[in-house]
Structure 1
């Protein structure tokens, strides 16, 4: 039989897959993190499993192995000829290989990162092409931010930052130093946002301060304004809304006109909303709207886009969030619907549609429309657990709190929705421990 050369099904899977043993182990450990299981796999341990030596395999490792390769553990360590009929693989690739494409791609990216970091470490000088690659990498990561789960973003942003640090140690050329400080600052900025998405407030604030320091060092006014705004945004979510207002007040005068100032004013509006000042919310939004109307199309962070972007869709959504907080459901629904409508024409604007949908659901509740609120959440339930950032789970918690109000708490639909939100949030990857940065 064709499989007779293999001692175990696992050995056949590994040998016939396109991945090296190291890449397979990396993908296994990534799968473990996605499953929130404390399992690791070394090449030596994998080799033992491949020859059928189970040794002292832990239950947690067996669970991950079964999810990773798509077979019961005893089947994996048995002969390929003994696979039960209902578990047989009918395709042309390695039998039983059920590793999701996202995990395999992440393993390949991880291996490439390790190669790049090692090359940067041993290089005697800094190549301008390598700096260009880093610059494009951090901007590409910002543009694709919403499409990747937080833990993957964490790994990639940390890699970019660390390579920038390695290169900074090897150059004294002012132009290269300035470029690398900018890359480091942008990478720290992304690390700040992903730390926020993982609900790790201290890490998020520390990374935002670092990004601001690099920006000040090289005189990058756009990055400085973005970093200060991010600090204010984090402070507001932590319940320090007065500090958020003060951060914006100390930043807005020196911020570039246009989208940079518009973003600061919009964040200020949300802080005033948390402090219970609807009149000041209205004024901050008015000033923010004026800045957006006057913003040049080719502004640095507007053109860069993604997480560094502040397009019309994200601007309208942020305004809607502020109006939700002060209880103006009808006005909030108008702004959020504008954001959702603008999103297809604003691909680099940085809007995460799911957050807008959740805010719209809250606005509909405030306006007394439970059915419309339920409709707004339809797409939210489809978000995979690894992509459920704190900005999503936190908003869902707010909806759950609204549902305990007098208008809804006794309705069967509201009770069912609260239960659904509890399950949705409990599955979120944001409950994982954040690795060291």
Structure 2
């Protein structure tokens, strides 16, 4: 039986949104989409109809949070227009209550969407905007935005600017203290394992930084392997593996790349998100280099990737 929004307390809505924040980190999008839509409907219904002034700030906060999570779910299903619209909605709701941390987080989300969509210039601009908002924030969102800016700048070839952003990200990580978003956890906490993934991605694009990229990716994978299931982001773990495999291919070690990428290529269909598919595609592009034309291992890995790419998570919603 459907529970009407007016029969749910604000405290119950808060608990529901908090539980979804954790689930968004490790559950497949197919299991999340329905609950996220229901939560969005309940929160916005209460926001429109709740006469209690004391509830307005809390409801706008919940609206921003659930809009951000739903944006990420649409992104996982490769629905970029809907994802960016919801990310903007998250920003507006956060702005309505003057929540700089959540405003900054929303810009970080927009940066992620642009970066995964192959628009690093736009990703860098969103991350820069978010960093300005987060200048006085102590939570992990500040280091997330610096890392997001670093990898976008590195992809654009701005090596020195990317390096400086990585240094700033490390400094912010070292001195950060938990804020309300970190306390919420899930996708709202920029955990160390994810930090290492982003750093690896940036270093992989910088000249003469192969060893650092390998170190950062390996560290990310190890931290995820040691994490409890509820904190293990399959998307970012896959991303770190894709970066490491990319570096191995560039080094000419196709066998190591195959072993690194193996767990990614075994992900079930609901976990083959747009971000995962973009990471795997970068490895496939590197394998198309002419030096691998007559290498059987390279051809076999390309075929595995091509087979994997035929069935993304977005196929489930078509």
Match of 1:140 in 2: 19
Does the 8 Å CA contact 1:330/1:367 hold for their aligned counterparts? no
Match of 1:405 in 2: 289
Q: Give how far 1:349 is off.
A: 7.6
Does residue 284 of the first structure (1) align with residue 165 of the second (2)? yes
2:55 corresponds to which of 144, 164, 176: 176
Match of 2:186 in 1: 306
Q: Give how far 1:259 is off.
A: 1.2
Greater helix share, structure number = 2
- Secondary structure at the aligned position of 1:115 is classed as coil
Q: Specify every segment of 5 or more residues in structure 2 that has no aligned partner in the other structure, as ranges.
A: none
Q: Output the CA distance in 2 between the equivalents of 1:140 and 1:433.
A: 24
Does the 8 Å CA contact 1:360/1:373 hold for their aligned counterparts? yes
Match of 1:363 in 2: 247
Does the 8 Å CA contact 1:306/1:349 hold for their aligned counterparts? no
Question: Structure 1 length normalisation: TM-score?
Answer: 0.67
- Secondary structure at the aligned position of 1:410 is classed as coil
C-alpha deviations, 1:157-210, integer Å up to 9, x for none?
111011011112221222211111111111110111111111111111111000
Q: Give how far 1:238 is off.
A: 2.9
* Structure possessing the higher radius of gyration over alpha carbons: 1
Report the CA distance shift for 1:186/1:258 in structure 2 as closer, same or farther (over 3 A): closer
Match of 1:24 in 2: none
Q: Give how far 1:348 is off.
A: 4.1
Q: Specify every segment of 5 or more residues in structure 1 that has no aligned partner in the other structure, as ranges.
A: 1-113
Match of 2:141 in 1: 260
Question: Structure 2 length normalisation: TM-score?
Answer: 0.91
Q: Output the CA distance in 2 between the equivalents of 1:365 and 1:188.
A: 38
Q: Output the CA distance in 1 between the equivalents of 2:187 and 2:168.
A: 22
Q: Give how far 1:345 is off.
A: 4.8
Match of 2:2 in 1: 115
Q: Output the CA distance in 1 between the equivalents of 2:311 and 2:122.
A: 32
1:211 corresponds to which of 74, 81, 90: 90
Q: Which structure is richer in relative contact order (CA contacts within 8 A, separation 6 or more)?
A: 2
Match of 1:193 in 2: 72
Q: Output the CA distance in 2 between the equivalents of 1:252 and 1:264.
A: 6
Match of 1:74 in 2: none
Describe how 1:306-385 pairs up with structure 2 within 5 A. Answer: 306-326=186-206, 328-343=209-224, 344-345=226-227, 348=231, 350=233, 352-385=236-269
Report the RMSD for the aligned CA atoms in angstroms: 2.0
Does the 8 Å CA contact 1:308/1:350 hold for their aligned counterparts? no
